[in-house]
Amino acid sequence: MSTDRRGFILPTTLMVMTLLTVMLTAAFILIAAESRTTDNSLAMGRAHALAQAGLQKYLTLNRGISPGTNMDSTRLSFSAGYADVIGSRLVAPGSGGVALWLVRSTGVLTGSTLTGLTTARRTVAQLALFNPGVLPLRAAFVSANPIIILGTGGPPISGTDACGNSNTRELTIEAGTLTPTGHGIAADYLPTSSAVLDSTHIDWASLLAGDFTPDYTSPSWPIWSGYPIGYAAGNFTLPGGSRVGTLVVQGDLTISANSSWGGILIVGGRVRIPNPTGVAIRGAVISGLNNVITPGSVGLDTLYRSPGSATFQWSSCEAGWAVGALAAMSPLKNGYIDTWASY
């Protein structure tokens, strides 16, 4: 007896094609999932890098935080995205003036990702100690090198506070190094140049060795805001114009005519004023610090008697704002938290 097997190949072919279609579809799904997973992993890695970059940049910024500040926040932009950084005080400052802060940085990737993916975010955190700016200022002008006063008129240094508070000493200097007599300055004389240097409380040798991070370095001299810190390696000429902040000069400082400065000038060498016209320094000045490295190496500061107000005048406001800008966050050892978002 024979069996009719006609038409058997058609369902077999359909079954094989269906199986191949299912397998091919599954392969595409796996490839898409793999690509999506890889893109997610890359995006999260880049968001993590943004969060770390934001955290590190924040810790180097001058945010103007005071000991009484409880919280601070900012957004830092990068080429691939941005980082939202929030700092919150956990422990108030004790007798030593140091407070414990938690700084959180959320990196957000805004670059290209696969269509339909959510924006990659990653949060890291760092425990940090807030160190307030501290720089005891003994007088309107502290000079560890000799000073010669030229010209006629009133004294070039005044201890009268430009902010209207109580007076401070006008000048601290080594006895016998201020000439000529009759200068009209109420000087605070210390016995030696070393005593004057000790009174500044500045570790000049460590600063020159690199234990110092300025906001700006000359010859770049931007139009800045706030009270930043500038540093000049070698000699520097302060151009005309009005500026504020803290300026550290490794060598000699020459102050040009019509120069106005509010804050603090810290000079390793001497201070020179070739033309006193329009020169007005409000705050505090320290000069001759290179005598720490080589005693007796710094020459004369040349100051001029002024016909009107003093060229150098104590200002508790300007000096205080400049000192406050020296405050900084110091990362606490073993205080980095890489998975803050999971807590």
Q: What are phi and psi of 146, to 5 degrees?
A: -65, 155
Q: What is the mean pLDDT of the chain?
A: 84
What is the C-alpha to C-alpha distance for residues 298 and 141, in angstroms, rounded to an integer? 16
| Helix (H), strand (E) at residue 194 | helix 193-200
- 215 pLDDT above the threshold of 90: no
> pLDDT tens across 294-329, in order?
998 999 999 988 776 678 999 988 988 888 888 778
- 202 pLDDT above the threshold of 80: yes
> pLDDT tens across 57-112, in order?
998 877 777 777 889 999 999 988 999 999 999 988 876 668 899 999 999 988 65
Mean local confidence (pLDDT), 254-274: 93
- pLDDT (0 to 100) of residue 96: 63
Lowest mean pLDDT among 27-41, 221-235, 240-254: 27-41
What is the C-alpha to C-alpha distance for residues 312 and 155, in angstroms, rounded to an integer? 9
What is the C-alpha to C-alpha distance for residues 222 and 235, in angstroms, rounded to an integer? 18
What is the C-alpha to C-alpha distance for residues 29 and 209, in angstroms, rounded to an integer? 60
Q: Which of 43-52, 215-224, 290-299, 332-341 has the highest mean pLDDT?
A: 290-299
- pLDDT (0 to 100) of residue 219: 63
- 115 pLDDT above the threshold of 60: no
CA 12 to chain centre: 76
- pLDDT (0 to 100) of residue 4: 59
The residue that leads in pLDDT, 260 or 1, is 260
Beta bridge partners of 300: none
Instruction: Provide the terminal-to-terminal Cα distance of the chain, rounded to the nearest Å.
Output: 78
